[in-house]
Amino acid sequence: MRRGSGTAMKLFEYEAKDIAGKFGIPRPRGVVVETPEEARRAFESIGGPVVLKSQVLVAGRGKAGGIRFANSADEAYSVAKALLGSEIKGEKVLKLLVEEKIKVKRELYAGFVINRASKSYSYLASTEGGVDIEEVAERSPEKIVRGDVDPLEGLKEYEARYIARKMGYRGKQLVELGAIIKRLYDIAISYDGELIESNPLVETEDGSFVAADMKLIIDDNSLYRHKEYEARAKVPGPELTPLEARAKAAGLAYVDLDGYVGIVGNGAGLTMATLDLVKEFGGEPANFCDMGGTATVERMVEALEIVLSNPRTKVLLMNVLGGIIRCDEVARAVVKVKEKMGFAKPMVIRLVGTNEEEGKRILAEAGISSFDSMEEAAMRAVEFARGA
């Protein structure tokens, strides 16, 4: 099953590092540039070897050639000229972060991620940084320090120092590394982070620590608290499929999956339960689409069109619990989409709630099945898909 884009917004590295700086986390001296000439001047202001890092929101940019070094101002100019305007995994490079080259003794990893099972943040730390933490977990699980943070108490300074001690540090280094780990957690809390990590978090030759790279992913639902990122969150990113991008622009929660039963619900919990039922009856969901609990007819029409536009979708399963959304409005949206799109993929609609009888009457006149039971609707949808 494809892992969806979810409801989160990734920050560029330079944005995450700006935040890290405000929280007192050491980072390399750096300048964001948009032209080769600016890269030349950045080298001159830094005054030594630099690394030019493409600012793109995709993983593996280093392996894809998006991170390069320069030992002179002219070389910085040439590298910037080659990188700016190029594409890294389908994303165009519009900005570079030009940073001083750090003398690395050791690469570490430190981060926090939302753990939905324990309803808390989990910390992860390792003495092997610079690679995916998943690789380390698989290859050398004993090198990972992990645990959950009490959501009521938060991460205490002594707990952060404990993590540093488990990583093998003592004395002054233990205190410094512990402080950085604590500040990473503070950023996660302050910015509603789903994930924050420094990979690598570098131990330099003089024994200090510097965040050589930073990643911060913010929960979209919290952006009303972070106005500086709110407008950008509405712009579809390159990591989205075309249908996900269309849904994002329409304000719908939508994720493409690998199956063939198209699913629309009103409410995240109800929609997830619908996916589970489809799987229970031996089917495979083609998507997750939550149109929300207060969707207008126009929003419902857009959600239906997006799901039915998926070439993998063999049947539509719509599960609606009418409250603020009236069942007759849902039925009219379904009929409108069926007439507008001019084709007859099977539709199975479960309608319960406000104006339920009127909604079922409208659907029946259009020859569309409707059900009271979500279990029966899911079973029928899977049957339709198998015979489609």
CA-based nearest residue to 102, from 202, 246, 241: 202
pLDDT band of residue 141 (cuts 50, 70, 90) is confident
- Least confident range from 76-90, 172-186, 345-359: namely 345-359
- Which pLDDT score, from 0 to 100, does residue 388 have? 54
Structure tokens belonging to residue 66: 């998006």
The answer, as to whether pTM is greater than 0.85, is: no
More confident residue, 307 or 295: 307
107 and 46: one domain? no
Q: Is the pLDDT of residue 381 over 90?
A: yes
* Mean pLDDT value across residues 254-267: 92
Q: Kindly report, residue by residue over 224-248, the tens digit of the pLDDT.
A: 898 888 767 666 555 677 898 888 8
Domain boundary among 173, 207, 238: 238
Q: Which of 197, 203, 329, 356 is labelled catalytic?
A: 197
The residue count of the chain comes to 388
Structure tokens belonging to residue 283: 């089917």
Helices 327-341 and 356-365 sit at what angle, rounded to 10 degrees? 20
Strands 347-353 and 369-371 come out as: parallel
More confident residue, 291 or 230: 291
- Which pLDDT score, from 0 to 100, does residue 273 have? 93
258 and 337: one domain? yes
115 and 221: one domain? yes
Q: Is the pLDDT of residue 88 over 50?
A: yes
**Alpha-carbon distance 75 to 36, whole Å?**
10
Displacement of CA 131 from its chain's centroid (Å) = 19
14 is catalytic: no
CA-based nearest residue to 212, from 246, 180, 253, 167: 180
Domain count, the chain: 3
- Which pLDDT score, from 0 to 100, does residue 3 have? 36
**Alpha-carbon distance 198 to 212, whole Å?**
7
Q: What is the CATH number of the domain that holds 90?
A: 3.30.1490.20
268 and 319: one domain? yes
**Alpha-carbon distance 188 to 113, whole Å?**
9
257 and 349: one domain? yes
- Consecutive H or E run containing 121: strand 120-126
110 and 75: one domain? no
Domain boundary among 214, 238, 262: 238
Amino acid at position 367, single letter: G
23 and 33: one domain? no
- Strand, coil or helix: 252: coil
Q: Of all residues in the chain, what percent are helix, strand and coil, respectively (each to 5)?
A: 40, 25, 35
Domain boundary among 238, 270, 289: 238
- Consecutive H or E run containing 361: helix 356-365
270 and 194: one domain? no
Q: Which of 14, 77, 109, 123 is labelled catalytic?
A: 109
Q: Is the pLDDT of residue 6 over 50?
A: no
Q: Is the pLDDT of residue 145 over 90?
A: yes
Q: Is the pLDDT of residue 287 over 70?
A: yes
**What is the share, in percent, of the chain residues with pLDDT greater than 70?**
95
264 and 343: one domain? yes
More confident residue, 343 or 212: 212
Contact present, 42 and 98 (Cβ < 8 Å): yes
Amino acid at position 328, single letter: D
Give the residue numbers spanning the domain of 352. 240-387
358 and 251: one domain? yes
Contact present, 66 and 54 (Cβ < 8 Å): yes
Concatenate the DSSP letters of all residues of 52-96 into one string: EEE--SSS-TTTTT-EEEESSHHHHHHHHHHHTT-EETTEE---E
Beta-bridged to residue 99, according to DSSP, are 30, 51
Contact present, 30 and 17 (Cβ < 8 Å): yes
109 is catalytic: yes
* Mean pLDDT value across residues 199-218: 96
Q: Kindly report, residue by residue over 317-372, the tens digit of the pLDDT.
A: 999 988 778 899 999 888 888 888 876 688 899 999 889 999 999 999 988 878 99
175 and 144: one domain? yes
* Mean pLDDT value across residues 42-64: 93
Q: What is the CATH number of the domain that holds 145?
A: 3.30.470.20
**Alpha-carbon distance 48 to 37, whole Å?**
16
146 and 282: one domain? no
- Which pLDDT score, from 0 to 100, does residue 1 have? 35
